[in-house]
Amino acid sequence: MKHYSLEEWTDFVRGVTDEGTRAAMAAHLELGCSRCAKAADTLRQVGGILADESKYQVPEYAVRCARAIFASQRPQIMRMPRLAVQLLYDSIREPLPAGIRARDELTRRALYEAGGFFLDLRLEHDPGSPMLNLVGQLANRDMPAQSSSGVLVLLTAGNDVVARTLTNRFGEFQMEYEPAPNLRLFVPLDAAGGRIDLPLSRMSAEASREPRAGRTLRSVKGKRPPGPR
């Protein structure tokens, strides 16, 4: 008696075999071959399970986390050339309004430009927690409507990977971490042919401090505050 292989029974269960082969395999089952009948029944059960699984939609955050776990690590990123990064805005450098003597540094925001992309970072600190929360968004400067999803964002402290994630379909990402020396943020940009490499140790340390006094903008009699005239 001729027995059929698992591959052949898989095609039989899926209904992709030609009519002649399917008729021959059906006749083979009718002859009472227990070995092939068991294989066909097992494959039918597997097909039913797979059909049920296809009805479930995996959450986007779970997909991003899974991809981040298996994404390329720092060695491959380091082989990419480092892009020139320009700081466009830093909230801590803004002068304080008149009458305000202390700055709230629990939230720090910075905007960078590199390789035709904007990187908007917001660093938040809860005084009751040792952790910092980094929220960011990556956007294409020349084509803002183009999605920046699936970009790896890697935070390291020396040779250790502190946190990793992937941007969502809006180019957004978020990671929580504890301040540490030598913190750096890596963002490889294949479209730009290089990587964003930002030191975050100082920014993290300043965000975790208590509010401190800062310079203020105030009018002096007979003088005008600096600025455009």
pLDDT in tens, 12-23: 988 888 988 899
Residue 228, pLDDT > 80, answer: no
One domain for residues 80 and 115: yes
One domain for residues 96 and 115: yes
One domain for residues 176 and 194: yes
Q: Of 101-105, 135-139, 141-145, 149-153, which gets the smallest average pLDDT? A: 101-105
Residue 208, exposed/middle/buried by CB under 10 A (0-12, 13-18, 19+)?
Answer: buried
Q: Which residue has the higher pLDDT, 71 or 65?
A: 65
Residue 222 lies in a domain: no
Residue 1 lies in a domain: no
Residue-averaged pLDDT of the chain: 80
Range of the domain at 28: 6-53
Instruction: Quote the pLDDT of residue 99.
Output: 53
One domain for residues 86 and 141: yes
What average pLDDT score do residues 179-200 get? 90
Residue 182 lies in a domain: yes
Dist. CA 164–CA 64, nearest whole Å: 10
Written as one letter, the residue type at 4 is: Y
Local confidence band at 187 (pLDDT 50, 70, 90 cut-offs): very high
Residue 225 lies in a domain: no
Phi/psi for 27 (5° steps) reads: -65, -35
Q: Which residue has the higher pLDDT, 64 or 35?
A: 35
Q: Between 34-53 and 19-30, two packed helices, what is the crossing angle to 10 degrees?
A: 120
Instruction: Quote the pLDDT of residue 110.
Output: 93
Residue 146, pLDDT > 70, answer: yes
Residue 223 lies in a domain: no
What secondary structure letter does DSSP report for 84? P
One domain for residues 192 and 159: yes
One domain for residues 46 and 74: no
